[in-house]
Amino acid sequence: MSELPTFDQFAGSIEDTFQLLDATDTALPAQLIEVKPLGISAADNRQAFSLVFRTRDSRILPQRLYQLEHPRLGCHALFLVPLGPDGQGMRYEAIFN
């Protein structure tokens, strides 16, 4: 696993599909639908931001750490929280502060 991509790298990946590995290591396509700046982190002076992913799967996955893979950004462990459905699928959020 490499260093976590930055806000700008994720922002350049809007609408890309990531592979989310569930508890059984089954790959579930998750589209990055939003990258939102949250200000500057006081801890390390980096851009804080949130990511919102959407899956087409009807299951609601529990909040926990998931592996997400992307061809350009690599494989990263992200803590995802379910936000609920939006009419197109189930949404999950990760926050980087």
Please state the rounded mean pLDDT for residues 47-56. Answer: 94
> Nearest 5°: phi and psi at 7?
-55, -50
93 contacts 51 by C-beta, under 8 angstroms: yes
What is the rounded distance in angstroms from the CA atom of residue 86 to the CA atom of residue 83? 9
34 contacts 49 by C-beta, under 8 angstroms: no
Question: According to the model, what pLDDT value does residue 82 have?
Answer: 97
- What is the model's pTM? 0.89
| Contacts for 62-67: CB closer than 8 Å, 24+ residues apart | 66/20, 66/21, 66/22, 67/20, 67/21
pLDDT tens by residue, 72-83: 999 999 999 999
